[in-house]
Every structure is written in C-alpha cells, then in structure tokens.
Structure 1
Amino acid sequence: MIDFWIGAGLLLLVALAFLLLPLLRGRGEQTEEDRTALNVALYQERLAEMQAQRAAGVLSEEQFEAGRAEAGRELIEDTEGDASGRTRAPLGRKVPMALALLLPLLGYGLYLYWGASDKVQLAREFQSQPRSLEEMVARLERTVEAQPDSAEGWYFLARGYMGMERPADSARALERAIELAGREPELLGLLAQARFFANDKQWNDELQTLADEALAGDPDEVTTLGLLGIAAFESGRFADAVRHWERLAASLPPGDPTREAIQSGIDAARERGNLAAESPATPAAAGEPGVRVRVSLAPELADKVAPGDSVFVFARAESGPAMPLAVRRLTVAELPAEVLLNDADAMMPQLKLSAYPKITLVARISRSGDATAGEWQGRSDAVDSSERSLQELVIDQPETR
C-alpha cells in the first residue's frame, strides 16, 4: 500500500501549506511594522533637530512650523500603506503550529474510523492467484467480514467450504447468500447438498422440500439432480438414482466432462439394483395404467442415424408446463420398441401425467445424448392421458430449431 500512503502524504502537505502560509505572511507584516517604527524614529530625530535650530535662531517660528508640517506629512505617507495591518489582530504562531501537528493525527484517526484500508488490502490480494484452497477461503472470509452484504462473497465462500469438506460452514454461508440474493434454484440446490453432507448423508423431509423448490424454479438444476441421485443411491433406491442421473446427463451440454462420471454412477446403480441396461424398451402390459406408445423409425431415415444414437420418448401437457411430464430413454438400435409412460416416469413429483387430461407424445433422436435438442423427431396429435390403446409414434421429420 506504499503508493496509497504516498498519495495521502502529498494531500497532507497541501493541507499543511494552508496552515503555514499565514505564518509566512505574518513575518512580512512584522517587517512592515519595523519599517514604520524606523520612520517614526527618523521623524522624531528631524523634529528635535528643527527645535534646536529654532532655539539657536536659525529657523523662525514660521519656518519651524512649516518644516514640522512637512515632516509629519512625509511620515503619514510612509506609514499609510500598512495602517490596516497594524489594526488587524494577529493569529499568532502557536495556533497554526498546533493545528499543523494535530492535523495528521486527526486525519489518520478519521481514516481508521471511516476509511476502507481493509478493502484496499483485499483488492490487492485478489490481484494475485491464491496458492491453496485454504488461502482462497481465508481471503473470502475477510471479504465477507469487510462486505457483509455481498451475496457473491458468501456464495464463493460456501463453495470454498465445500471444497474443504466443511459442509456445515457451507450451509451457513449459503443461508446468508439466500437472504441477500433470494431463493434462487442454484442456491437452494447447493444448500440442500451442504445440509445433506452435514447430516451424515441422511435424507429428510426438509431436504426434499428444498430439492422440490429448486426443481420447480429450474427443472434442470444440476446440483439438485445430482444430489437426488446420490441420496437415492445411498438409501438403496437404485432405480430412482438411475432416473435422476439420466435426467442430469440429459440436461448437460454435449462434450461436458462430467458426463463420463455420471454415466459411471448410472452403470453402478444398475449393477447394484440388478436393473436391465435398457429397461424402458420392455413391452408394456395392456392393462397397466399409463399411455402405451410404440416408437418406430421411418425407413428413409435408417441410413441417417447411428444405432447408438439416443432416443427420448416423452409426454407433454397440451395446455400446461413446457417441461415433459414423463420421459423414457432408448437407442436407435432398439427401434421399433414399445414403452409405457405413466406417473412413475414423472420428472417432478408435482407434475404427474395423470393430472393433465390432454397430452402430446414426442420421440426425439439426439446424437449428443441431449434430451432438449436433437436431429429427428416424431410428434402425435393430442391424446387423452387416460387412453389405454396403443399409440403409434413414427420418427419421420427433421427437428426445427
């Protein structure tokens, strides 16, 4: 902070100049007073000389009076310019010197009370990269201490605490961030995650409420989807873990480096739960509740797709949320295939297929595995969600964006 103190010192010198200049001017006034005293002394000496000449008969009375008048006029002319200075009360030297000494101390005290030296120091620290996670967290702790109303500071501090495996501290930081920034889905998902790990990975109703609120604000909130999969896996609900992690993988952009890790989790859940790798392709019984859909590929598209391309089959409300009510995943190699869409496939607990009287069926082929965008699709007209007859869905048209 050397440049800061140099600047402060220069400003202090300017302030001291305003105090010390009057002292310099006072010395000039003293010189004027000394010159006036000399003029008076010369006048008195001249007057005494003329009185002696008058007594000796050299000067007559008229000449003496004329000479005295002339000397008096000259004295008045010599002293007229500084008459106002003699009538002004001088400030003296003690007061300006005392102020000159006290001003630096006063300024320093006021800066310590109202200044922001801590923020200046933090700004300088953040210009260099931290050498460790602990150093970064220490900086963030000082940041929120200096700026307690910074939602971004509390957010990054919470992420740092999670990186240091301090979930309880992370939860407290996130609670403060939510107070400042509002109940954003990302913050809610992170808070549920922190509380889950702080509670020894025990799921409860409070965490479920946070997860539901986060997904209601953003159905693709990645932290929440990943957390739901972890919680389901830890409690032995492997089918639910697969469902949540598949939704998470479908929401990620192509080429995301976390896809591989998510797929490893899906494979582990299928193995632990003894689940078929492509269980959605099994035919649905005619009497089972839900909408049965037979998905096929138009012959003219056979040479335009690859066997491993993903196929997403989902139902949407004709009048309602844009988010799919139910979704199943296949591959091109499995087509034609018959699937059943019902409330068990709901992407969110509060959005059940049976709650909407009219639905639209869509099948989408995506080379990247992204459920939200693909290359080819098939779409049905509106059907009753209570319809039990088999619905035919042919993928036969390019998807427009």
Structure 2
Amino acid sequence: MNILALGIAVCLSIFIGLFWIHHCAYNRNLSSTVVKATNTNAEMGSTISVEPDDFADVGAYQFPLWMSAIVLIFSLSIYASGGHFQGWDKGRVDDSVDYLIAAKITKGREQVQQQPTNEMALMALAQSYAEGGMYADSVDTLSQLIELVGEDAGLLGMQATSMYYRDGRQFLPEARKVIDTALNLQRDELNTRMILATDAYLNGQYAVAIEHWRILQTNQTQSFNRQSINNAIMKAEFKLDEVSR
C-alpha cells in the first residue's frame, strides 16, 4: 500500500505542480500585456488608467487553489473507495467461475435436463464447463455426447483437451487412449493436434510442436486461424535455433 500511496502522491504532485506553473506563466504574460497597454495609453495621452497589479488580487489565486483541492479530494475519494487497497500488491488469482459463464452453465444444465438427447445442448454445456475451468464436468458431458452420437474425432479431441487440463496439464493413460482414437479417425484433427503441440511447446520440445502444427495445416475440414499456426511455427523454429546454438 505504501508504494501505491507514494506513486499516487508523486503523480498528483507532478500534475498540480504543472498546473501551478502554467497558472504563474499565464499571470506573468498577463502582467506584461497590462504593462504594455499602460505604457501605450500614457504615450497616447489616454485618460484610461490601468495599474499593472490590478489583476493580481487574491481572487486570481482562488481558482487554482480550488482546482488543486478538488483534484486531491477526488483522487483520495477514488483511492479510498477502490476496495481492499491495502492488499493491492498481494492479489491472488480468482478461481471462481465468472458469473456470465456460471449463468451459461446453469442454463445449459437446465436444457440438458429437459432434453438429455439434444446434441447441441450437450455440446454447449461441455464448452461452458471448459470455459469455466470445470474440466471434469466437461469430460463427463462429452462422454454423454459421444455415447449418443458415436465416436467422433472432433469430440474426442475436445475431450482429450479437457482431460489434459483436468489432470494438471499432463497426458495420463486415459487421455492418451482418447488421443490415439481421435488420430486414428482423423490424423489432422484440430483439437487433438493443438493440445499435443501446446504441451510439446511448453515442455521445450519445439521440433515435436512444429510437427504437430504442420500436420494440422493439412486439415481442410475444420476451420481455424492458419496465420496464427504459421506464427506459432516460426516462433518455435526461432526457439529451436536458440537451443541448438
């Protein structure tokens, strides 16, 4: 909190300082203008008399004073109402499911309960579970869907991905079996190759990751961002060159 408060104080000081510098410069320019006007009137014999210090009354500084006070009060109010600001540098990851995803999951569950054989409802629920980090539920829902429609490479790839994250970012025998089945059905299946490439890249196996991505590029039946795959391959090749040096 002390670091945050110091940072806020420094920023406010700089802002207010610049504000006052600008105000003082404006007053000096105004003073110079009034003096010139006074000298001109005197030379021309004008009856108008303007004192150079007529503008420099107390009111000239009331506006910047009030502005400075407003900035300070407004900033401190926001700082104080910002919640648990004492622990700003001790934050932890919020593992709770986002309320929008939670709403989708609730709606999906209700729909599946009402229509347990609805393929679209099961698919949507499985995806919502995965989005919310509820990978075990996603695996179970995909199992129901696969049992309903039969073995499908895309569904098996999605299930293998959820198993991978459910098991702590590793491929246990159950996930390996699902992966083998998916690749036997479709060698370049999107989800399967993506999770295999991702795991290989994260573990420094850049050549393996490149191989999976290149096989994925032959996929003509599933839509995906091919440019992002090309970028991933180039990045992995760069990493591979660094390691081989």
Gaps of 5+ in 2: 1-98
Say which of 200, 218, 221 aligns to 1:250: 218
2:47 corresponding residue in structure 1: none
2:157 corresponding residue in structure 1: 189
Contact 1:239 1:275 in 2 (8 A): no
1:273 corresponding residue in structure 2: 240
Q: Partner amino acid for 1:213?
A: T
Distance 1:262 1:168 in 2: 28
1:241 corresponding residue in structure 2: 209
Q: Tell me how far 1:204 sits from its aligned partner.
A: 2.9
SS of the equivalent of 2:123 reads helix
Q: Partner amino acid for 2:195?
A: L
SS of the equivalent of 1:269 reads helix
Matching of residues 29-68 of structure 1 within 5 Å: none
Q: Partner amino acid for 2:189?
A: E
1:318 corresponding residue in structure 2: none
Distance 2:180 2:211 in 1: 15
Matching of residues 290-301 of structure 1 within 5 Å: none
1:159 corresponding residue in structure 2: 127
1:176 corresponding residue in structure 2: 144
2:229 corresponding residue in structure 1: 262
2:194 corresponding residue in structure 1: 226
Contact 1:238 1:270 in 2 (8 A): yes
Distance 1:176 1:245 in 2: 29
TM-score, normalising length: structure 1: 0.33
Residues 1:143 and 2:103 aligned together: no
Say which of 214, 221, 228 aligns to 2:182: 214
SS of the equivalent of 1:251 reads coil
1:72-109 CA-partner distances (Å, limit 9, x unpaired): xxxxxxxxxxxxxxxxxxxxxxxxxxxxxxxxxxxxxx
Distance 1:166 1:136 in 2: 13
Contact 1:203 1:231 in 2 (8 A): no
Distance 2:196 2:214 in 1: 11
Q: Partner amino acid for 2:183?
A: L
Contact 1:239 1:269 in 2 (8 A): yes
Say which of 161, 169, 172 aligns to 1:204: 172
Change (3 A) 1:152 1:165: same
Distance 2:173 2:157 in 1: 14
Matching of residues 315-334 of structure 1 within 5 Å: none
Q: Tell me how far 1:193 sits from its aligned partner.
A: 0.4
Q: How much is the aligned-residue C-alpha RMSD, in angstroms?
A: 2.5
Higher strand proportion: 1
Larger Rg: 1
Q: Partner amino acid for 2:149?
A: A
Distance 1:257 1:193 in 2: 16
Higher helix proportion: 2
Contact 1:152 1:177 in 2 (8 A): no
2:71 corresponding residue in structure 1: none
Gaps of 5+ in 1: 1-130, 277-401
Change (3 A) 1:213 1:253: closer
Q: Partner amino acid for 2:240?
A: G
User: Between Structure 1 and Structure 2, how many residues are aligned?
Assistant: 145
Distance 1:185 1:224 in 2: 8
Change (3 A) 1:253 1:171: closer
Q: Tell me how far 1:257 sits from its aligned partner.
A: 5.9
